[in-house]
Amino acid sequence: MDSVELARFLTAMTLAVHIIFATIGVGVPLMFAIAEFLGIKKNDPHYITLAKRWSKGYTITVAVGVVTGTIIGLQLSLLWPTFMQMGGHVIALPLFMETFAFFFEAIFLSIYLYTWDRFKSKWTHFLISIPVIIGGSFSAFFITAVNSFMNTPAGFEMSKGKMINVEPWVAMFNDSFFVRSFHVVATAFMTMAFVLAAIAAFKLMKNKFKKDAEYHKKALKLTMILGIVFTLGSMLAGDLSAKFLHQEQPEKLAAYEWHFDTESNANLVLFGTLDEETQEVSGAIKLPSILSFLADNNVNTEVKGLNDFPEELHPPMIVHYYFDLMVSMGVFCLIISAAFILTLCFKKLRRFTYSKPMLYGALLTGPAAMLAIEFGWFLTEQGRQPWIVRGYLKVADAATQAGGITLVTVLFGILYLILIVTSSYVLLRMFKNKPAYKEFEEHSSERGDA
């Protein structure tokens, strides 16, 4: 591989690892805050224990999130120096603010984790979770602003290959900022709800400590309800994204859907394979006019096809598979959580709530949601190819020319492998032989003394 390929590969690898931990980082604080809120409100030690255990596991993931985040922050300059020289002064503001948000989160997270028993009022400790949630979500917002800038650059003029007359706020609140950050945050909440649901379902299936069943049932119920709420939010965000792409980045939408000829009543293509030479799609399910409808809520809308764009500006056709996978994972999560909620709503169905198939389904939602995040990012990043800053700078011209990139790539590959394996190992060991009932018995007896 040449240095451009290697730089792309290394960036992809770093982001693929970071996004797992970043999603956990954005999502979990909301979950433990809600659990703590319910625990105090209902005076129920189960929920307090949930909050404690979730936040305890969170310490491990947050550490890996911090280090991989630091890596990607520096790699931007190390691997794409030309990009940072050209665009660094346009996107500095959101980058800077992201760091502040992260700072804010780090401070209050530390306080939250180590002050469970230090305040007189229980609500004081709960209140500390709010800056943690704000910090986490805002850092996601700001960093998405940087990424949106690369998709829909704004807030500068070009002169002799340089970006001048910078307007920082215009660059930050560029066209795709709102729709993307909404999608990022909603899917992070959704994913974490399902990951935690999957853990509860797994524990219920194994049922090693019978006394814990009630605790895990509460966890499952809570996460499933949150899961369906955030899934609906994510789907709304996804729909807005499709409409946005239709307006602003039609070549990306066309590549997602293997849509070659501009036409109205455009088909939505599900799955299938493509012959790139003949542009023939075989084995796909074609939903007539749905793509037009998705793009503009009107079946007659004309959707631009790829053939309207010069061939060297086509994104790779593989993005269609990512799109299919992302959407089907999302729909799967919706079906399972909806089924679960239905069984809660109707008395007759209640015996299915914790039945084997339902638990299996719930178990699968966690990995499915996380995979959807990965596919979604592969989709949007590769969908921007060949540009690094759409319309202004190509990936091939931005990569570093420094020697030693092969060595560095191998080094980081080994590092990520070690970090992932070790953190999973620590997390599993942390909860394996420490049943929840012991924790909440301790917790209840403490309250009894007080």
- Under the binding rule (CB under 8 A), the answer on residue 154 touching other proteins is no
Shorter beta-carbon distance to other proteins: residue 114 or 346: 114
Shorter beta-carbon distance to other proteins: residue 142 or 194: 142
Which one-letter DSSP state was computed for residue 149? H
Shorter beta-carbon distance to other proteins: residue 91 or 242: 91
Of 89, 91, 93, nearest to 101 (Cα)?
93
Output the smallest distance, CB 371 to other proteins, in A: 24
Among 1, 130, 411, 417, binds other proteins (CB under 8 A): 411
Among 6, 412, 435, 444, binds other proteins (CB under 8 A): 412
- Under the binding rule (CB under 8 A), the answer on residue 405 touching other proteins is yes
Dist. CA 335–CA 333, nearest whole Å: 6
Longest dimension (CA), the chain: 77
Shorter beta-carbon distance to other proteins: residue 117 or 449: 117
Quick one: how far is CA 116 from the chain centroid? 29
Give the position of tokens 């007896």. Answer: 445
Output the smallest distance, CB 165 to other proteins, in A: 8
Q: Do residues 133 and 33 make contact, with C-beta atoms less than 8 angstroms apart?
A: yes
Q: Which of residues 197-236 bind other proteins (CB under 8 A)?
A: none
Q: Do residues 141 and 185 make contact, with C-beta atoms less than 8 angstroms apart?
A: yes
Provide Rg for the chain, Cα atoms. Answer: 23
Backbone angles phi and psi of 346, in degrees to 5: -110, 125
Among 12, 107, 154, 318, binds other proteins (CB under 8 A): 107
Shorter beta-carbon distance to other proteins: residue 10 or 268: 10
Among 109, 197, 201, 291, binds other proteins (CB under 8 A): 109
Of 144, 147, 136, nearest to 61 (Cα)?
136
Q: Do residues 330 and 231 make contact, with C-beta atoms less than 8 angstroms apart?
A: yes
Q: Which of residues 362-401 bind other proteins (CB under 8 A)?
A: 400-401
Q: Which of residues 25-84 bind other proteins (CB under 8 A)?
A: 56, 59-60, 62-64, 66-71, 73-82, 84
Output the smallest distance, CB 294 to other proteins, in A: 37
Among 166, 205, 317, 396, binds other proteins (CB under 8 A): 166
Q: Which residues of 340-352 are buried (b: 16+ CB within 10 A; e: fewer)?
A: bbebeeeeeeeeb
Shorter beta-carbon distance to other proteins: residue 139 or 292: 139
Of 71, 67, 70, 86, nearest to 11 (Cα)?
71
Shorter beta-carbon distance to other proteins: residue 68 or 231: 68
Tallying the residues shown for the chain, one arrives at 450
CA torsion, points 180, 185, 190, 191, in degrees to nearest 10?
A: 90
Stretch that binds other proteins, among 105-113, 189-197, 248-256, 441-449 (CB under 8 A): 105-113
Tell me how far CA of residue 104 lies from CA of 45, 135, 137, 258, in angstroms.
29, 6, 11, 43
Give the position of tokens 């255990």. Answer: 53
Give the position of tokens 């209640």. Answer: 350
Of 81, 192, 194, nearest to 133 (Cα)?
192
Output the smallest distance, CB 282 to other proteins, in A: 44
Shorter beta-carbon distance to other proteins: residue 190 or 388: 388
Output the smallest distance, CB 196 to other proteins, in A: 18
- Under the binding rule (CB under 8 A), the answer on residue 417 touching other proteins is no
List strand residue ranges (DSSP E) for 117-254, in order: 157-159, 162-164
Dist. CA 200–CA 49, nearest whole Å: 13
Output the smallest distance, CB 76 to other proteins, in A: 8
Among 12, 213, 341, 415, binds other proteins (CB under 8 A): 415
382 C-beta neighbours (distance < 10 Å), count: 18
Output the smallest distance, CB 395 to other proteins, in A: 16
Shorter beta-carbon distance to other proteins: residue 115 or 247: 115
Stretch that binds other proteins, among 111-119, 264-272, 383-391, 435-443 (CB under 8 A): 111-119
Which one-letter DSSP state was computed for residue 249? -
- Under the binding rule (CB under 8 A), the answer on residue 430 touching other proteins is yes
Dist. CA 36–CA 114, nearest whole Å: 15
Shorter beta-carbon distance to other proteins: residue 10 or 222: 10
Output the smallest distance, CB 197 to other proteins, in A: 24
- Under the binding rule (CB under 8 A), the answer on residue 4 touching other proteins is no
